[in-house]
Amino acid sequence: MPRQVTDVDRLRDYIAGVVSRADHHADDVNEIALALAGAIVWRKDNDPIEVMERDGEMKNVLWFRVGGTRYAFSYNHTAQCIELREGSTQGRVVGSFTNQTPCADVRRIFQQL
């Protein structure tokens, strides 16, 4: 079930959890996750960010809106990347990110949302 993230402290807790889990299980995205967090805050609408919550714990799925369009971030275990999808975790892939993704690409993709 999605949980709204309405303050910086909760966002910090979410990002810390994502980075910690990535350090242990997906070290190919543990650095780019920080750049993506900044890009989300930069471009998101005034609507709250939402994160997946299960059994009281925030998980590695996040939703936000830009220009009224909902986007989802999740980790693709097969491709070993973070995917940005339109609408839902099953939607059209808008971008794929790893630690090898230049920050200029992150900016370009988010600027086009």
Domains defined for the chain, CATH in brackets: 2-111 (3.30.920.70)
Please report which helix (H) or strand (E) contains residue 103, including its range.
Answer: helix 103-111
> Residue 35's closest CA among 87, 104, 111, 89?
104
Q: How far apart are the C-alpha atoms of 25 and 88, rounded to whole Å?
A: 23
Q: What is the mean pLDDT of residues 60-80?
A: 92
Burial class (CB in 10 A: 0-12, 13-18, 19+), 22: buried
Please report which helix (H) or strand (E) contains residue 23, including its range.
Answer: helix 8-25
Asked whether residue 78 carries a pLDDT value surpassing 80, the answer given is yes
This prediction's pTM: 0.86
Q: What is the mean pLDDT of residues 75-103?
A: 95
Q: How far apart are the C-alpha atoms of 28 and 110, rounded to whole Å?
A: 20
